Amino acid sequence: MVCVPKFPQSHIPTVGSHRMMKDILREPKELSTCDNLVYTLFTVRDSGSGELRVRNSNFARSLMRRYSDYRFQRTKVSSFKFDLTNFIEYPKQFASRHKETNKSFVINLSRKQEIELQIVHPRLINPLGDDRDTFGFTIDLPFNTEAKDRLTELEKFKQDERYDKFEHFKSENAIEHYKCDCHMDLELLHHLTRSILVHVMGYNADDYLLIDHFFIEEQ
């Protein structure tokens, strides 16, 4: 899965009150012609899992990293600094707006440029599954085992009481992915997301996190 990097907090509007909730989920731009061209040329659908991945070449990986930096600059206006204690309002609003259209989506969560957790449409995790056409939320928790701090977080995660609710589903380019299908259980989604960020990744319980989302065209 191609992750969109984040940008410095100083560029992001703070959302703190209920009256501003309607602005949280401003419609993001659909993938542009340029996006689709890059994905067509430099990604390929895995024959086993059916998922999109970066082509297996140094050039493709280097280009996708640079392109992610470019996309990072473009997505500044659609990301928000958001109160972790009130996170549940984001998926509530998102489902209200997008359940009917049922497009494949990615929601990125972080407090810096590196994506720390993603919430995605179930079909992006299991494109051949029975629930591929059912709207819902699946947590995708990636750990880069080549980064010392992320490897430490992975070990903490394996010792955490919430570990049993997740399933290891993919190893790719030294990144171990764990998933939890929350479907439309928003309380479970809120609880697991907040707990993992606090108890595994070192957030404070009342920290702010950066959130943005985008949609992926079916190929």
pLDDT tens, 75-94? Answer: 544 555 667 888 899 999 99
In this prediction, residue 163 carries a pLDDT of 94
Number of independent structural domains in the chain: 2
pLDDT score of 34: 73
Q: Is the dihedral of CA 144, 151, 149, 169 positive or negative?
A: positive
DSSP conformation letters of 135-184: --EEEEEEEETTSHHHHHHHHHHHHSTTGGG-EEEEEETTEEEEEEEEET
**CB neighbour list of residue 129: distance below 8 Å, 6 or more residues apart:** 122, 123
pTM, two decimals, is: 0.67
What's the domain range around 53?
29-74
Spans of the chain, pLDDT less than 50: 1-29, 76-77
| Domain-embedded: residue 9 | no
- pLDDT, tens only, 151-183: 999 999 999 999 999 999 888 878 899 999 999
Q: Are residues 143 and 47 located together in one domain of the fold? A: no
Based on the domain organization, do 100 and 182 belong to the same domain? yes
Does the residue 169 lie in any domain? yes
- The verdict on 132 and 219 lying in the same domain is yes
Cα dihedral value 163, 47, 68, 145, nearest 10: 40
Q: Same domain, yes or no, for 70 and 34?
A: yes
